[in-house]
Homo-oligomer: A and B are copies of this chain.
């Protein structure tokens, strides 16, 4: 019988094999005493199985509260498997199994889901991203040799639709490929959703008629399910191509229901992610997280950026970008959304460490606050990426191109 395998990082004051057995027990038949009905046959068929334990370092302080009255805490990678019979194609129940009550176990002073693997027949049950990385770039008429260049409407919240659409026109004319609402902005008192979509899409559609290029705008359709459906339809009716969802607050079931429609490229915003990832030994790592959203049908997923303004290390960002194109079932690759403090200077290292242009490369201030205005900002980003892909250095590219040179002068200290 096919099995699903999950890989965890753990920390425990106990013997590693005992601790792993507790984890497996909790996630298949846990109660504090043996109960009638728990037969050997049932256990063999449905119990979780510890597949592997790889010992790592020992530390003298526990990472999170638990059984902390010891002087030594062992870290390890642990792999656990379950029969697919336990969940079949029910992903919320799979999630409850992979990342459920096990976080409550006092036997662990650290526990993080790192990755998991599904049997290939899940491909028949889940389409995955309807567009994926390449399809999303195609939708926006972006060449595959370069990343899709994007920006965020700022200030995050407060502008009226007329102001937003004016800014959109400016950005379109500057040569942008992609624009998005901020996650704090769905429908505010002075920017009703429908009104904003109509005015923004008027600009985008009119530019398309002139130039043939259809800029992608990810409208933040987040809300309750009725709102999500209504907003999705509003975007479609106005010939939009993308919808943004705050995936953590909406949840897997809501996101899947919307992504299933399959007509808009789904921009997955991971705001709130830090609460389940920032601690090195609690929560979930990006490879596992990305697979769950790929199953739901998300096309574009935030990954932060190199030398970002947030806390995340470059190493972690690079791992996230790579995992967007790791083979998973027969699903399309995710398009990693690179953002936070980006201005083009990071293009060189981003390309060096990931070797891909399947990226949505986003800059906010890096475009809007460029000395030559948004048009200079977009040009600078494209110059940076062309340079990076062609093997030029930052210095060489700055010498060659005025707009990128201005970026280096303004943002280069960051």
Most buried by B among A90, A187, A275, A282: A275
Contact (A278, B64) CB under 8 Å given A35-B365, A159-B42, A253-B251: yes
Task: Please give me the residue from chain B that is nearest to A225 by CB atom.
Answer: B257
Task: Tell yes or no: A375 within 8 A of B by CB.
Answer: no
Contact (A154, B86) CB under 8 Å given A222-B96, A273-B103, A282-B275: no
Contacts of A365 in B (CB 8 A): 31-33, 35
B105 touches A369 (CB 8 A): no
Q: Which of A309-317, A318-326, A397-405 contacts B (4 or more CB under 8 A)?
A: A309-317
A65 touches B280 (CB 8 A): yes
Contacts of A271 in B (CB 8 A): 96, 100-101
Contacts of A222 in B (CB 8 A): 90, 92-93, 96
A65 touches B158 (CB 8 A): no
Contacts of A46 in B (CB 8 A): 155, 157-158, 188
- Residue among B92, B227, B279 making CB contact with A223, cutoff 8 Å: B92
User: CA separation between A295 and B229, bound complex, in Å?
Assistant: 20
- Residue among B64, B100, B103, B224 making CB contact with A183, cutoff 8 Å: B100
A187 touches B284 (CB 8 A): no
Most buried by B among A85, A183, A187, A253: A253
Contacts of A86 in B (CB 8 A): 157, 184, 188-189
Q: Which of A22-30, A72-80, A138-146, A350-358 contacts B (4 or more CB under 8 A)?
A: A22-30
Contact (A184, B282) CB under 8 Å given A157-B29, A251-B254: no
Task: Tell yes or no: A10 within 8 A of B by CB.
Answer: no
Contacts of A47 in B (CB 8 A): 158
Task: Tell yes or no: A21 within 8 A of B by CB.
Answer: no
Contacts of A93 in B (CB 8 A): 183-187, 220, 222-223, 246, 249
Task: Tell yes or no: A262 within 8 A of B by CB.
Answer: no
Task: Tell yes or no: A236 within 8 A of B by CB.
Answer: no
Contact (A156, B29) CB under 8 Å given A106-B311, A183-B101, A224-B91: yes
B275 touches A103 (CB 8 A): yes
Task: Tell yes or no: A212 within 8 A of B by CB.
Answer: no
Task: Tell yes or no: A104 within 8 A of B by CB.
Answer: yes
CB pairs A–B below 8 angstroms (13 shown): A35-B155, A35-B368, A43-B155, A45-B190, A85-B190, A86-B184, A90-B222, A96-B184, A224-B253, A250-B252, A250-B254, A251-B251, A279-B279
> Which 5 A-B pairs rank lowest in CB-CB distance, beginning with the nearest?
A251-B251, A103-B274, A253-B254, A100-B271, A85-B189
Chain A interface (Cβ within 8 Å of chain B)?
Answer: 27-38, 42-43, 45-47, 64-67, 83, 85-88, 90-93, 95-97, 99-106, 152, 154-159, 163, 167, 183-190, 220, 222-228, 246, 248-257, 269, 271-276, 278-280, 282-284, 304, 309-312, 340-341, 364-365, 368-369, 411, 414
